[in-house]
Amino acid sequence: MRNYRLGAHTKSDLRVHLVWVTKYRKPVLKGEIAVRVRDLIRQIAMEHELEIISGKVACDHIHVFVSYRPNQNISQIVQWLKGISSRVLLQEFPTMRKKFWGRHFWARGYLAVSSGAITDEMVKEYIDEQEGEQIADDSRFPIDSL
């Protein structure tokens, strides 16, 4: 059975796979820094009502698969995860400030791939099976009745 997130008037299943890299792809996510990054990401997720489904810390990048609420957007989620973790890491590990001058621990940008339990074709088939007439002028978005 699907695990929907419930709100006052909503039911949702929104999930995204995020990937981002260290500045200059420097392989610094090792040892205590890697452990601290993982802990920070967990803490940030909990504070912002994100559910971490899966994640991995590699030496120069992060993978995290999260479930989020409909009132949150992906760019905001990435901003929380990258921004807060960068600030804390550069404060707690002063030696990193020499490698990552300019207060930027992470490189610009990220990869975001949405995830779901159904395919695009399944959604199209479901919509096609619903009540309504096909109108010749626009077969992709028919009107139920005129």
- For residue 106, the 8-state DSSP code is B
Residues recorded for the chain:
146
CA–CA distance, 74 with 68 (Å, rounded to integer): 9
CA–CA distance, 105 with 89 (Å, rounded to integer): 8
Active-site pick, 24, 68, 110, 126: 126
110 is catalytic: no
Among all chains, which residue has been given the structure tokens 């960068």?
A: 86
**Are the CB atoms for 83 and 100 separated by under 8 Å?**
no
**Residues known to be catalytic:** 126
